[in-house]
Amino acid sequence: MKRILNIAHRGFTKQFPDNTLEAFEAAIGIPVDGIECDVHETADNHFVIFHDREILGCDISQMTLNEVQDVKLEGKFRIPTLEQTLELCHGKILLNIEIKRVSSLDSFLVLVREKLTPDEVVFSSFNRNIVIELARLAPGIQRGILTAFEVKEPVELARSVSSGIVVTRFPHVNAAMLEQTRNAGLLVFVWGCTDMNQVRDALAMDIDGIITDFPDEVREELGRPVSN
């Protein structure tokens, strides 16, 4: 089996709330190849790691950093800042940052470049305009275009946003798509496997990375010898 990157989706969420430093530290301890996280920009132009656009019914873009950090997930876990996450991952692991809502991309990139080298980070987004802008502002950092639906022309999609990675939901990865992307020199990451049976099906294909909720089990699976 080829080397496939094992990327923990929002950290090791079996043990800790997703997108927390505790979940990231637990994933690093498995160990995994990478961590995927989500970033939003606050009203006072700071960057926080959280998946949803709202926290307890409040839009993050309308909250200050102090207001976000006053929130305790499950009564005790803080929502981390981008800086804290970058510092934790530096020198240890690949960080795949999904950009949710960020208007100050220049400031965002300054922080990333201060803490991580280009080979320690991958950017991704569903927002095509963001991926295009990242290609202009940070051409030396790998970028992925996220898709939740079947893409019949993955190469055309990737080229339209200057992306080197197609990040596709599991049900929509298939041999034809992989042949097209391989011929174009693109990487393919898969997300959205709901159980280990789907994970095994994905790992059996010619993919480059899997963003998974089961990083511990994926590690075991990838460590098994290939059967003849």
Q: Note the pLDDT tens digit of each residue in 62-103.
A: 999 999 999 999 999 999 999 999 999 999 999 999 999 999
Residues contacting 65, CB < 8 A, separation 6+: 42, 44, 46, 48, 81
pTM above 0.85, yes or no: yes
Of 36, 11, 24, the C-alpha closest to 190 is 36
Buried b (16+ CB within 10 A) or exposed e, 105-132: beebbeebeebbeeebbbbbbebeebbb
Neighbours of 183 (CB within 10 A): 9
- Extract the tokens encoding 15: 């043990």
User: What sign does the dihedral 105-111-117-121 (CA atoms) show?
Assistant: negative
Q: How open is the CA angle 172-125-187, to the nearest 5 degrees?
A: 55
Q: Note the pLDDT tens digit of each residue in 98-139.
A: 999 999 999 999 999 999 999 999 999 999 999 999 999 999
Q: Does the pLDDT of residue 215 top 90, yes or no? A: yes
Confidence of residue 228 (pLDDT cuts 50, 70, 90): very low
Could you tell me which residues are beta bridge partners of residue 35?
8, 95
Average confidence (pLDDT) over 12-16: 96
Domains along the chain with CATH numbers: 5-223 (3.20.20.190)
Question: Mean pLDDT over all residues of the chain?
Answer: 96
Kindly list the distances between the CA atom of residue 23 and the CA atoms of 16, 67, 188, in Å, as whole numbers in the listed order: 5, 22, 25
Q: Which residue matches tokens 């970033």?
A: 39
